[in-house]
Amino acid sequence: MADSNVAVTAGAGTLIDTRTTTGGEHRQVMVLGDPDADAVVSVVDISTINGAAAEVATNPLSGDALNVNINAVQLATYKMTVKPGAAALSANTLAFRAALWHLGTSVRTVRIRAVEVNVAVSALAQSLSAEVHWINAAPSGGTAITSATTPSATAALRPLDPRDAGCEAQGAYASLTLTSAGLTATGFVAASSSAALHGGGVKIYDWQEGGPQKPITLPAGTLSGIAVGFLSNAAPTITPTVEITFTEV
Same domain? For 237 and 208 the reply is yes
Q: Based on the structure, what is the number of domains in the chain?
A: 2
**pLDDT digit string, tens, across residues 180-225:** 999 999 999 988 888 877 888 999 999 977 778 899 999 999 999 9
Confidence band for 49, pLDDT divided at 50, 70 and 90: low
Measured CA to CA, the distance from residue 187 to residue 5 in angstroms comes to 75
> What pTM did the predictor assign?
0.71
pLDDT of residue 91: 96
Same domain? For 87 and 59 the reply is no
Same domain? For 101 and 212 the reply is yes
Same domain? For 59 and 96 the reply is no
Same domain? For 94 and 207 the reply is yes
How big is the CA angle at 233 (ends 231 and 236), to the nearest 5 degrees? 75
Same domain? For 56 and 122 the reply is no
Does residue 69 lie within any of the structural domains?
no
Does residue 5 lie within any of the structural domains?
no
Same domain? For 143 and 235 the reply is yes
- Name every residue whose Cβ is closer than 8 Å to that of residue 189 and which is 6 or more positions away in sequence: 117, 119, 128, 129, 130, 200, 201, 202, 230
Domain that holds residue 57: 13-64
pLDDT for 29 beyond 80 = no
Considering only CA atoms, which of 178, 232, 205 is closest in space to residue 117? 205
Same domain? For 29 and 92 the reply is no
Same domain? For 31 and 121 the reply is no
| Residues 100 and 120: beta-carbon distance below 8 Å | no
Does residue 70 lie within any of the structural domains?
no
- Compute and round to an integer the Cα radius of gyration of the chain: 31
Same domain? For 52 and 140 the reply is no
**End residue of a domain, out of 25, 43, 64:** 64
Asked whether the CA dihedral 167, 168, 169, 174 is positive or negative, the reply is positive
Does residue 6 lie within any of the structural domains?
no
Same domain? For 118 and 231 the reply is yes
DSSP class per residue in 145-212: E-TTPPP-SSEEEEESSTTSPPPS-EEEEEEEE---S-EEEEEEEEEESSS--EEEEEEEEE--TTSS
Same domain? For 89 and 114 the reply is yes
Q: What percent of the chain has pLDDT over 70?
A: 77
